[in-house]
Amino acid sequence: MSTDGTKDSPEANPNKQLAEAILPLVGGAANVTSVTHCMTRMRLGLADRSLVRDEPLKALPDVMGVVEDDTYQIVLGPGKVARVTPEFEALVRTAPATAPASTSASTSASTGAEAAESALASASGPAPSGLSGTRTAEDLAAEGAAIRATRKEKNATPVKLILRRIANIFVPLIPALIGCGIVAGINGLLANAGWLPTLTPALAAIASGFMSLIAVFVGLNTAREFGGTPVLGGAAAAVIVFPGVADVSAFGQKLAPGQGGVLGALFAALLAVYVEKACRRLVPSAVDVLVTPTVTVLVAGLVTLFGLMYVCGEIATGIGHVADWLLQHGGAAAGFVLGGLFLPLVMLGLHQALIPIHTTLIEQSGYTVLLPILAMAGAGQVGAAVAIYLRLRRNTSIRKTIRSALPAGFLGVGEPLIYGVSLPLGRPFITACVGGAFGGGVVGLFYQLGTSVGSTAIGPSGWALFPLLKGNHGLGAIAAIYGLGLAAGYLVGFGATYFFGFSKQMLSELNAPSEAEAEAPDPEGGPSSEGPSPEPPQPGSPSPSPAPAPTGGSGSLV
């Protein structure tokens, strides 16, 4: 920090500035009970949800949307979230913790919200004029929030809650998967070109080191998620990757290091958690520090060696065979179904079951062939959003939302478009799924023809997936096929939405003229103070359809 404080000023640190704008809008530091983040969202635990001011929060320029689930999730996008979250955590830690959340948090929310709204207004100009008789982006956002709340309630089943906890185990591993995947791609390019031969072995070690020990990280996260001691879960899972297991036989076969993979590690650590908890209840406290860790590691290790490694190894092998068979024999049809159904799976909360499957495929072959197909769902959403933008020429509110969300949509962050636009509208969500289906069909067809397109990591989508592509052919061919799938998703999603995404009644309601447009011309029929005057209406005729552009510039289409 410089003596004049330049480095720490909000102007010099936009991430801190955004964190400072968000904090009062979520009720202040006293209302925040936990702060974490995933690839695109900052996830907050809140003491009192009613203290959050959703609309000013969503109006912040760098906030792409909010999602309510087990935590309050603010969508900031890849990269941005990793920079804003530490700043937000620092603000929460350093804020006074003595004031009650119900009073101080609400007060800070009010004052901070006013400041944020004022800053936003000065930056973006006057707000668009209100729409009379039509649905605005705020209406769609409210409908999207209601849909999310309903989905959350329906998804709170035992099976889906377990799937969510499994996702919590694997999501923290995604940054390492992405980093190592990109390093592996760079290493492959250098090796194929014959460049820097002394560097490629080092890059191979960097890219492979994490994957060789991923079972340990899965064990740590599993124990942490289910309430055990993380290091004991990691110790139980580490048995799987120990080279000495090659000397152990189970079910009449020699074990291989890594057999069972992440699935074996998950179940080994989960068993360790239950053994540890049982020991805590039964073992006297005087000897707990000696007995509980020993019994936990011993029991979980033996069961892992003589049961879990073999069984989970067979399951993992089966997953690989099923994925390969499905795309080899199903081809375009399988890709069509997978690409078209992914967004409904997300709505049902079942997509989280795919995370360990992706990780298992990456562990086995170095890439998952399912992710590029599922990523086509986002392409369908983008195409649908462009069609909505063109069809709703008078709805400046929804068009503004689409303009702000499209860049994130191209990078694979689909929540703002899904929950803020297509899903509340209904039919455009279905036509977007059709676009995703056709994109997935293109990628699946090429798999059947002999070219597999995979990803070395999970998490990114859209254009952000290009650096992680890998398959059984050169990177150029794989990238071309993936790009062709994206193009198909964009075009079909656009066409299906443009021609079939709206009924006449929907278009009439959503394209209703604004209040300014609906006003009759001045009594003297004179020209408007801005721009050319429209033709004077005939007596008894309605207002002319082509109304003047809204004032203030915020409704500009450019």
Catalytic residues: 38
- Both tokens assigned to 555: 């409704």
Question: What residue spans of 418-503 are helical by DSSP H?
Answer: 423-425, 427-448, 475-500
Instruction: Classify residue 5 as left (phi > 0), alpha (psi -120 to 50) or beta.
Output: left
For the chain, how far is it from start to end, CA to CA, in angstroms? Answer: 40
Q: Which amino acid is at 106?
A: S
The bridge status of strand 249-250 relative to strand 65-68 is unpaired
CA distance 301 to 271: 9
Q: Which residues of 11-46 are buried (b: 16+ CB within 10 A; e: fewer)?
A: eebebbbbbbbbbbbbbbbbbbeebbbbbbbbbbeb
Q: Of 533, 516, 513, 514, whose CA–CA distance to 524 is shortest?
A: 533
Token code pair at residue 330: 């199903």
> CA 290 to CA 280: how far, in whole Å?
11
Buried b (16+ CB within 10 A) or exposed e, 436-451: bbbbbbbbbbbbbeeb
Task: Tell me the C-alpha distance between 37 and 78, whole Å.
Answer: 10
Bridge partners, residue 37, by sequence:
42
Question: Is residue 285 packed enough to be buried (19+ CB in 10 Å), middle (13-18) or exposed (0-12)?
Answer: exposed
Nearest to 440 by CA among 461, 422, 423: 461
CA distance 79 to 102: 33
Residue 475: closest CA among 462, 484, 466: 466
Residue 100: C-alpha distances to residues 79, 82, 106, 169 (Å): 34, 29, 10, 33
What is the torsional sign of CA 133, 138, 144, 148?
A: negative
Q: How many residues does the chain have?
A: 558
Cα–Cα nearest to 88, from 39, 25, 181, 11: 25
Residues 555 and 526: their CA atoms lie apart, in Å, by 24
8 A C-beta contact, residue 266 and residue 169: yes
Give which of 191, 184, 340, 310 is closest to 239, Cα–Cα: 310
